[in-house]
Amino acid sequence: MSDTIRVRFAPSPTGYMHIGNARTALFNYLFAKKTGGQFILRIEDTDQERSTPEAVRVIVDSLKWLGLDWDEGYFGLSEEKGEFGPYSQMKRLSIYNEYLDKLISLKKAYYCFCTEEEIEIERQKAVKAGTPYKYSGKCKKLGEAELKDKLSKKERFVARFAVTDNALVKFNDLVRGPVEFNTKEIGDFVIARSDGIPIYNFAVVIDDQLMKITHVIRGEDHLSNTPRQVLLYQAFGFKLPEFAHLSMILGADRSKLSKRHGETSLLAYRDKGYLPEAMFNYMSLLGWYPKDGVELKTKGEIFKDFDIKDVGHSGSIFDEKKLTWMNHEYIQKLPEESYIKYSLPYLVKTEKSEDWKKDVLRKIRTGVKFFSQIPGLASIYTEVKAVDEKAANVWSGINNAAATINAFIEVLKANEITKENCKALIAEAGKKAGVKGKDLFMPIRIAITGAEHGDELANVLPALGSAECVKRMETNLKNIK
Ligand code: GLU
């Protein structure tokens, strides 16, 4: 048991699941898969103002959609699995208090009663002097009697960790190598408040220790928190876990990934009709550089090839275009049955039969990059399209366009159009109207599809059927004049 690798994903439920967070979860999952370890979900909900139950649900939905089945931890409101729970921090307050008391009695932490205003004055002084702000340590010097008095009066306090000045904090990072910080830069930092709610750096250490986490894999934005956490590990005499800080995810212009670069919420891609398998594959490449250079990989191949040693430390670019390209590849490779299953719900309601719908879906398949494009791509088959302006201009330059359409209407009223007779029926109309080539095809295309360009007539017309073609031609003929 003691050798088992245990990793955790510890999101704060304060909004949607950002791509960057989802990538952190994915890399933890891949690391666990690769090493035969366990993957744990812990909810860090101590920010009471920003945490919401809805955001917790989004976390669970996001991980499930991406296919990151975790072994232990939080699974739903009153659903937990594992022997190291509870797995949401607000249910662990008594545990943190117990550890806080330990630190206080060891004199490694102390209560601080400075008001926000006092702290602000100190901060302003530091700004003026051009030095980084550090708490003065004033309350560390409080006498026993004074301390008792303040506590009995229930004055508001915070608990601060007593940092030894000018010491080196060292740890090894699996992505970045050895990291060193001088405690000069770290003042006595706050670890808990008088309402009994711990601060992240404190709670995370207690939880990771008690949950027997062996590897802490998270975003680079937490690198500057790690020295504080290392100090806490040392104060308690806990064994340090291994750390791996993943580089930030950037937009194509190398600035921090934001809405400008596309969707930043994982579930927005689900809602647009991306395949979770494609998302999984694409996101695995956000920072991981497979040794063989092959980017399109199945889940099984990713499990086999993933190695934390091949994770780079410079920012990784989230390129929505590349993701869309990959999703297109995945959609084209789906077995036909699955493609139909995924795409059918996207087709707008129509009276047409199931077979007709499937036929349309097959026809537009090569153009489908993500499923929410389906209504647009299929609209040529599913809606009567009014003739657009460009097509109307083309129409007016064609000789006898209306006569050609009337001839085709006559032909279709007498025959059901099929793939086989399509060409011949068009030719028959041409003969009747005395036109051929573009003068024949273009009015038909425009009167039926409303546009100058589009899928081949031999695909479109039989799919619509004679009656629908006639209806469209009659409507458009009336309107175009
Ligand atoms: N709750 C923190 C976050 O969402 C977790 C950081 C960590 O993994 O230690 O950023």
Confidence at residue 382, expressed as pLDDT on a 0 to 100 scale: 82
Asked if 403 and 433 touch (Cβ cutoff 8 Å), the reply is yes
Within 10 Å of residue 462's Cβ, how many Cβ atoms?
A: 19
Q: 371 pLDDT exceeds 60?
A: yes
Rounded CA-CA distance 154/156 in Å is 6
Ligand 1 centroid vs 218 CA: distance in angstroms?
Answer: 7
Tens-digit pLDDT profile for residues 68-116 = 999 999 998 789 999 999 999 999 999 999 999 999 999 999 999 999 9
Pick the atom of ligand 1 nearest to 218's CA: 8
Q: Whose CA is nearest to atom 4 of ligand 1?
A: 11
Rounded CA-CA distance 14/422 in Å is 58
DSSP 237: T
Instruction: State the average pLDDT over residues 227-248.
Output: 97
Tens-digit pLDDT profile for residues 288-328 = 999 999 999 999 999 999 999 999 999 899 999 999 999 99
Tens-digit pLDDT profile for residues 15-52 = 999 999 999 999 999 999 999 999 999 999 999 999 99
Judge whether 352 counts as a catalytic residue: no
Fold held by 384-479? Arc Repressor Mutant, subunit A (1.10.10)
Specify the residue for token string 């990989």.
297
Q: Whose CA is nearest to atom 5 of ligand 1?
A: 10
Asked if 243 and 172 touch (Cβ cutoff 8 Å), the reply is yes
3-class SS shares of the chain: helix, strand, coil, % to 5: 55, 15, 35
Structural tokens at position 215: 């590897």
Tens-digit pLDDT profile for residues 47-78 = 999 999 999 999 999 999 999 999 999 998 78
**Which of helix, strand or coil describes residue 169?**
strand
Is 12 touching ligand 1 by the criterion CB < 6 Å? yes
Q: Which residues contact 343 (CB under 8 A, 6 or more apart)?
A: 361, 365, 368, 371, 374
Within 10 Å of residue 325's Cβ, how many Cβ atoms?
A: 14
Looking at the chain, the whole-number percentage of residues with pLDDT higher than 70 is 99
Fold held by 93-246? Rossmann fold (3.40.50)
257: buried, middle or exposed (CB in 10 Å: 19+, 13-18, 0-12)? buried
Phi, psi of 417 (to 5 degrees): -80, 135
Q: Whose CA is nearest to atom 3 of ligand 1?
A: 11
Rounded CA-CA distance 282/327 in Å is 9
Structural tokens at position 112: 């601080």
Q: 261 pLDDT exceeds 90?
A: no
Asked if 277 and 330 touch (Cβ cutoff 8 Å), the reply is yes
DSSP 16: S
Rounded CA-CA distance 452/274 in Å is 30
Structural tokens at position 340: 């139909």
Q: 1 pLDDT exceeds 70?
A: no
Within 10 Å of residue 197's Cβ, how many Cβ atoms?
A: 16
- Residue ranges per domain, the chain? 93-246, 384-479
Structural tokens at position 447: 């009167």
Instruction: State the average pLDDT over residues 256-284.
Output: 94
Q: Which residues contact 297 (CB under 8 A, 6 or more apart)?
A: 281, 284, 290, 305
Of 170, 184, 259, 431, which is the active-site residue? 259
Q: 394 pLDDT exceeds 60?
A: yes
pLDDT band (50, 70, 90) for residue 158 = very high
Rounded CA-CA distance 358/133 in Å is 66
Looking at the chain, the whole-number percentage of residues with pLDDT higher than 90 is 83
Q: Which residues contact 140 (CB under 8 A, 6 or more apart)?
A: 110, 112, 160, 162, 188
- Which residue of 23, 44, 228, 229 sits with most ligand 1 atoms within 8 Å of its CB, as the best mutation to test the pocket? 44
